[in-house]
C-alpha cells in the first residue's frame, strides 16, 4: 500500500457540502484515512515493488512460479497487458503464463478461482495472483461520492497445490445490464479521452467530475449488493452443507461500513465476524480489500493456524462472487508500504 | 414537529420537509442523505432497516417513511 496517507477531515473542504453533513458521512460510512499514490505511480510499480520484497526476503523465487494473473481496472497501458509489463520489468522466465483480468471488487475471488483452475494443469505448480488498482488517479478529488473512499494498493497472493483435500466451494454471478452503475465513461474506444472528456462538471448533486473520471451510482450499487449478496451466500453455504454459525469469518469486499453492517444484519452475522475496518484505515482498493482485511485483522492467527472463511466480492460489471474455504496456515502475511 | 421531521431537519436544516411530497425529486435528499436518514432512523427507533428496503420509494416523504417504520416497529 502507498505510504502516502490522506485524511477525510483534511479533504472535506474540497467537497461542496456543509461541515456537519461531511462529518455525519464520516461517522456512518467509516471514512477516515485512505492510502493513495502520490504522483504518476502505476499498477506495475506497486506490483513490482511487492514482488521484489518477496524475492528479497526469500519468500518467493523469481523463477519459482509458473503463472502470473494480474487483476486490475487501471492497467499501465491499453496494450500490452500489465502482467507482461511486470514479467518484463522483473526479467521473469519466458515459459510463464501471463494474463490480465479486467475485474474490480470481485477480483480477488475471481482471481483465486482462476488460479485454482490453472493449478489443475500438471505443468503449473504455483500461481502468483496480483490484485492491483491505482484508481485514485481516475477519481475526481471533488467527487464526494467516490474520492473519500478510494484507495490504491496491490496484493500478492501465492497459490500452490497442497495435500489437504478439504473442498473449496465457490459461486460467481454477473449482470452486464448493470454495467453503467460503476464505470469510467471515457478513455476506451467507445469514447476516447479528449479535451471535452476532461471537462469537470457538476453532476447535479454537488459532486464534480469529468467523463475521464470514475463514476459511481451509489444508490444502484448499494441496492444491488443488498439484493444479490445475501442469497448468493445462502446458496454457497447450502451447497457446502455449512451453516452461518460454522463460519469463523465473513471476509467481504469493503466499500463502506454502512453497507457491510446492513449485510451483516440481514445475514444475522455478528459484526466481529465480518470485519469492516479497511475503508477507515486504507480506503477501498477494489479487489485488494479482502486480502487487506486478512492481513490487517487475522495475520497472527493465520501464520500459526487456520480459519473457516467465507469470502465475497461485489462490484463493477456488475459482478458478485463468493468462496468458502479453509484459510491458513499461511507462510507469510504482511502489509508493506510503497515508498 | 414529528421525530421523523426532526431527523430530516438535522440532516438538511435548510429545507422544510413538511412541504414536499417527494424529497428526492425535489432535490432535498441525495443518495448519501438517504443513507444518513436510514442510519438515524435505525438509531432513534432501535431497529435495523434491511438494505433491500433502502430505496427511494420507502423514503420519499413523511408518509412513506412512517409506513416503513411501522413495518419494523411492529416486528420488534
A230 and A136, same domain (yes or no)? no
Does residue B76 belong to the interface with chain A, where contact is any CB pair within 8 Å?
no
What local confidence, expressed as pLDDT, does residue A203 receive? 83
- pLDDT digits 0-9 by tens, A125-165: 999 999 999 999 999 999 888 898 999 999 999 999 888 88
For residue A224, what is the domain's CATH number? 3.40.47.10
In terms of CA atoms, which chain A residue is nearest residue B48? Answer: A265
Domain with A246, as residue range(s), is: 169-327
In terms of CA atoms, which chain A residue is nearest residue B28? Answer: A205
What local confidence, expressed as pLDDT, does residue B1 receive? 61
Domain count, chain B: 1
pLDDT at B76 over 70: no
A94 and A182, same domain (yes or no)? no
What local confidence, expressed as pLDDT, does residue A21 receive? 80
CB atoms within 10 A of CB A322: 24
A311 and A242, same domain (yes or no)? yes
For residue B13, what is the domain's CATH number? 1.10.1200.10
- pLDDT digits 0-9 by tens, A259-307: 999 999 999 999 999 999 999 999 999 999 999 999 999 999 999 999 9
- pLDDT digits 0-9 by tens, A22-63: 888 888 888 899 999 999 999 999 999 999 999 999 999 999
What local confidence, expressed as pLDDT, does residue A279 receive? 92
User: pTM, whole model, 2 decimals?
Assistant: 0.94
Does residue B51 belong to the interface with chain A, where contact is any CB pair within 8 Å?
yes
Of A156, A71, A155, A159, whose CA–CA distance to A116 is shortest? A159
Mean pLDDT of A191-203: 95
Name the residue among B12, B30, B54 with its Cβ closest to that of A222.
B54
Do A262 and B51 lie within an 8 Å CB cutoff?
yes
Q: Which residues of A touch B35 (CB under 8 A)?
A: 25, 28-29, 222, 258
Enter the DSSP assignment of A2: B
In terms of CA atoms, which chain B residue is nearest residue A207? Answer: B30
Domain with B47, as residue range(s), is: 3-75
- pLDDT digits 0-9 by tens, A321-334: 999 999 999 999 99
Q: Which residues of B touch A225 (CB under 8 A)?
A: 51
A50 and A109, same domain (yes or no)? yes
**3-state DSSP helix/strand/coil % of chain A, to nearest 5:** 40, 20, 40
Q: Which residues of A touch B52 (CB under 8 A)?
A: 223, 226-227, 266
Q: Which of A160, A187, A222 is the last residue of a domain?
A: A160
Residue tagged 451510482 (cell numbers): A217
With bands split at pLDDT 50, 70 and 90, how would you rate the model's confidence at B75?
A: low
Domain count, chain A: 2
The CA-CA-CA angle for residues A327, A329, A333, to 5°, reads: 90
Q: What ipTM was reported for this prediction?
A: 0.88
Amino acid at each position: 500500500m502507498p505510504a502516502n496517507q490522506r485524511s477525510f477531515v483534511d479533504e472535506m473542504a474540497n467537497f461542496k457540502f456543509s461541515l456537519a453533513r461531511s462529518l455525519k458521512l464520516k461517522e456512518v460510512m467509516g471514512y477516515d484515512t485512505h492510502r493513495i499514490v502520490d504522483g504518476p505511480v502505476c499498477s506495475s510499480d506497486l506490483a513490482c515493488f511487492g514482488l521484489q520484497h518477496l524475492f528479497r526476503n526469500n519468500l518467493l523465487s523469481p523463477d519459482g512460479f509458473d503463472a502470473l494473473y494480474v487483476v486490475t481496472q487501471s492497467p499501465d497501458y491499453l496494450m500490452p497487458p500489465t502482467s507482461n509489463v511486470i514479467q518484463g520489468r522483473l526479467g521473469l522466465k519466458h515459459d510463464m503464463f501471463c494474463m490480465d483480468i479486467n475485474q474490480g471488487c470481485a477480483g480477488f475471488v475471481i482471481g483465486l478461482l482462476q488460479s485454482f483452475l490453472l493449478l489443475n494443469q500438471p505443468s503449473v505448480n504455483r500461481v502468483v495472483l496480483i490484485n492491483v488498482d491505482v484508481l485514485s488517479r481516475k477519481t475526481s478529488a471533488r467527487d464526494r461520492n467516490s474520492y473519500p473512499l478510494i484507495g490504491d494498493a496491490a496484493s500478492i497472493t501465492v497459490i500452490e497445490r497442497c495435500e489437504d483435500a478439504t473442498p473449496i466451494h465457490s459461486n460467481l454471478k454477473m449482470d452486464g445490464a448493470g454495467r453503467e452503475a460503476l464505470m469510467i465513461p471515457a478513455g476506451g474506444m467507445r469514447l476516447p479521452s479528449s479535451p471535452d472528456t476532461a471537462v469537470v462538471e457538476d453532476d447535479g448533486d454537488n459532486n464534480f467530475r469529468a467523463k475521464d473520471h470514475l463514476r459511481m451510482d451509489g444508490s444502484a450499487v448499494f441496492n444491488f449488493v443488498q439484493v444479490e449478496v445475501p442469497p448468493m451466500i445462502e446458496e454457497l453455504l447450502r451447497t457446502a452443507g455449512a451453516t452461518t454459525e460454522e463460519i469463523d469469518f465473513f471476509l467481504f469486499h469493503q466499500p463502506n461500513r454502512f453497507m457491510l453492517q446492513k449485510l451483516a444484519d440481514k445475514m444475522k452475522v455478528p459484526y466481529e465476524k465480518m470485519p469492516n475496518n479497511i475503508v477507515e484505515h486504507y480506503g477501498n482498493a477494489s479487489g485488494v480489500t479482502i486480502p487487506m482485511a486478512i492481513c490487517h485483522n487475522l495475520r497472527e492467527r493465520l501464520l500459526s493456524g487456520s480459519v473457516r472463511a467465507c469470502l465475497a466480492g461485489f462490484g463493477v460489471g456488475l459482478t458478485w462472487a463468493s468462496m468458502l474455504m479453509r484459510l491458513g496456515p499461511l507462510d507469510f502475511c504482511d502489509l508493506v508500504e510503497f515508498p | 414537529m414529528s421525530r421523523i421531521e426532526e431527523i430530516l431537519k438535522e440532516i438538511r436544516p435548510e429545507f422544510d420537509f413538511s412541504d414536499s411530497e417527494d424529497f428526492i425529486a425535489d432535490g432535498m435528499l441525495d443518495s448519501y442523505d438517504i443513507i444518513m436518514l436510514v442510519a438515524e432512523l435505525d438509531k432513534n427507533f432501535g431497529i435495523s432497516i434491511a438494505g433491500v428496503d433502502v430505496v427511494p420509494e420507502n423514503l420519499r416523504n413523511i408518509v412513506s417513511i412512517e409506513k416503513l417504520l411501522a413495518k419494523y416497529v411492529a416486528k420488534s
